[in-house]
């Protein structure tokens, strides 16, 4: 079973502002989440538990970008909240660890 990936307008706007090669790399990485959005072997995806117990996932993309997303298991939807450069992600979210 696959998941549907939905990208927030702000994240989509960020993708659109990037050069074509970067857009292609990010879109391919997000497409890969359709089959399995959960962490496993490979180490690019991490589950994070935020204060209050909510869960969010972080996907490192090509050592340049970071996507933050949540998973609605019941409806099989992945909601991409943010896509940032790694530097921007560290500034905005700090150096979160699982």
Q: What CATH number does residue 32 fall under?
A: 3.30.2310.20
Residue 53, domain extent = 4-89
* Residue 11 included in any domain: yes
Count of domains forming the chain: 1
pLDDT (tens digit per residue) in 26-76: 999 999 999 989 987 666 888 888 778 888 999 999 999 999 999 999 999
One-letter-per-residue 3-state SS of the chain = CCCEEEECHHHHHHHHCCCHHHHHHHHHHHHHCCCCCCCCCCCCEEEEECCCCCEEEEEEECCCEEEEEEEECCCCEEEEEEEEEHHHHHHHHCCCCC
- Res. 98: pLDDT tops 80: no
Q: What is the pTM of this model?
A: 0.87
* Residue 94 included in any domain: no
């Amino acid at each position: 079973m696959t998941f549907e990936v939905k990208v927030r307008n702000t994240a989509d706007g960020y993708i659109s502002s990037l050069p074509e090669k970067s857009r292609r790399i990010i879109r391919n990485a997000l497409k890969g989440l359709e089959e399995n959005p959960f962490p496993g072997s490979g180490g690019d995806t991490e589950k994070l538990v935020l204060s209050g117990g909510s869960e969010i996932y972080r996907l490192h993309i090509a050592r340049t970008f970071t996507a933050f997303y949540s998973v609605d298991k019941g409806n099989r939807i992945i909601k991409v909240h943010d896509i940032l450069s790694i530097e921007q992600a560290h500034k905005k979210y700090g150096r979160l660890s699982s």
